Structure 1
Amino acid sequence: MNSASTKAQDLRRQALVDIKRGQILSAARSVFIEFGLEAVSMREIARRAGYTPGAIYSYFTSKEEIYGALLAESLERLNDCINDSELAAPTKAVDTPKNNFFALQKSALAFYQFYRDNPRDLDLGFYLFQGLKPRGLTNEWDVELNARLRDALRPQELALSKLGCSKKEVDTEVTAIFAHIVGVLLLNHTGRIRMFGKGADELIMHYLDGLALRLPKTTKKN
């Protein structure tokens, strides 16, 4: 068998692996949302995916690994959403306070809009079916997933640095933006926001616009 044929076979084999892996992840996502991480068994995931339990162990060693893979895929799409948003990263053409602040707003807004438009990713990402308590994931998964989340916040950190914030101020502001976005998302997701008579988008923009009042360079003329 020549190298071209071997390569073609390898590609077909990998494509089949990817399809089966995708089917398992799709089935697992719905099961996790329905029952939560602790109540789910590999047997139930296999049944939903149309495989035997032994078959899915060829692709994942545990339900925690499946859950970690789902979260990793979700965070990759989050990062793609932020990177693809218009002016998500600080503009390189004209480095002015106005443009850097606009870049900060755009990257934070892209983060918010991803979870607003993908509520199932919000459920998975913040363990809403577990009472907000992540359980069962290993330290290795935590490190990897936290790193991907930090990547999604990097454009905000860069914009804040360009606006004259110190390292400590950058950490504080990014944490505050993240906390505010998550709070609004949870209010919106649970319907509790209706008691305030405000919309989620309105609250996010109110907060992001208000950042200009306390950031060092945003009130200066460009």
Structure 2
Amino acid sequence: MPLTGKKTSPRPPSTHELRAERRRRLADVRQELVLDAARSAFFELGMEKTSIREIARRAGYTPGALYSYFPSKEHIYGALLGESLERLNTQVQLALQAAESPAERLRAGASAFFDFYRVNPHDLDLGFYLFQGMAPRGLTPELDARLNTRLRDALLPCHAALQALGLDNARATAEVTALFAHIVGLLVMSHTGRIRMFGQSSQALFVAYLDSLSERAQRP
């Protein structure tokens, strides 16, 4: 008969561990307050006119306190962009769950990408550095590369779907690049109101482009 060992209940956390956990949670809350304040400042004032002092004022802290969380305004910007890209990737992955065939995955992934920025225009501004002159000024090369990788990650399901439909890597890459450019162009025109010059709908144009892409990819 096998011996059964006595069950031991887990050790309760020590006072030191409880205090460390409270400090961590408090730091997370304070950092989120800083990011919320920076987000509102960037949206209202733009990158150039937003200062650490303004972000601190909105967060209810001193400028010196902010430096314990972020070394610069650009690092705050990078943190906001990183959070935005994580939400983008989550939305794309959720959309893919119900898609089975490559054609369905292409449509689901591309539509989720388009809809994320259509519904969240400020995230488009963040994602394409529209608050700082169309360039990642002040971001380190490492941070910029990491953020670009997460943006590309959101398009990888479309690339994989196109290859599954029969395109080679070079053609799939070219088509994803064109899809990306088409989405960005439509959204910029939509968010700036320029698309009204042509009496067109960004959503309708996107659907038409996606239909055309799907047909090209499945053509023998």
TM-score (ref. length: structure 1): 0.88
Deviation at 1:174, TM superposition (A): 0.8
- Which structure has the bigger radius of gyration? 2
Measured on the aligned residues, the alpha-carbon RMSD in Å equals 1.6
1:117 aligns with one of 113, 116, 119: 119
In structure 2, the residue matched to 1:21 is 31
Residue 157 (structure 2) pairs with residue 151 (structure 1): no
SS at match of 1:159: helix
Q: Equivalent residues in 2 for 1:31-180 (5 A)?
A: 31-87=41-97, 91=100, 99-180=101-182
- Given that residues 87 and 106 in structure 1 are in contact (C-alpha distance below 8 angstroms), is that contact kept between their aligned partners in structure 2? no
CA deviations over 1:166-216 (Å, ceiling 9, x no partner): 11111101100000000010011001111111111101100000113321x
Q: What is the one-letter code of the residue matched to 1:134? A: P
Q: Structure 1, residues 121-143: CA drift from partner, whole Å, max 9, x if none?
A: 11111222334233221101111
* Amino acid of the structure 2 residue aligned with 1:118: N
Q: Paired residue for 2:4? A: none
Could you say which structure has the greater relative contact order, defined with CA pairs below 8 angstroms and 6 or more residues apart? Answer: 1
Q: Which residue of 1 aligns with 2:184?
A: 182
Unpaired stretches in structure 2, ≥5 consecutive residues: 1-11
**Contact 2:34–2:59 under 8 Å retained in 1:** yes
Which sits farther off after the overlay, 119-128 or 181-190? 119-128
Q: How far apart in 1 are the matches of 2:17 and 2:155?
A: 39
> When the two structures are aligned, how many residues end up with a matched partner?
209
Deviation at 1:105, TM superposition (A): 1.1
Counterpart in the other structure of 2:5: none
State how far apart, in whole Å, the 2-side matches of 1:40 and 1:75 are: 22
User: Given that residues 33 and 124 in structure 1 are in contact (C-alpha distance below 8 angstroms), is that contact kept between their aligned partners in structure 2?
Assistant: no
In 2, distance between residues paired with 1:171 and 1:198?
28
- The Cα shift of 1:11 comes to 1.7
Identity over aligned pairs, percent: 55
- Checking the alignment, whether the CA contact within 8 Å between 2:81 and 2:126 is kept in structure 1 is yes
Q: 1:49-84: CA deviations, max 9, x gaps?
A: 110011011100111110000000000000011111
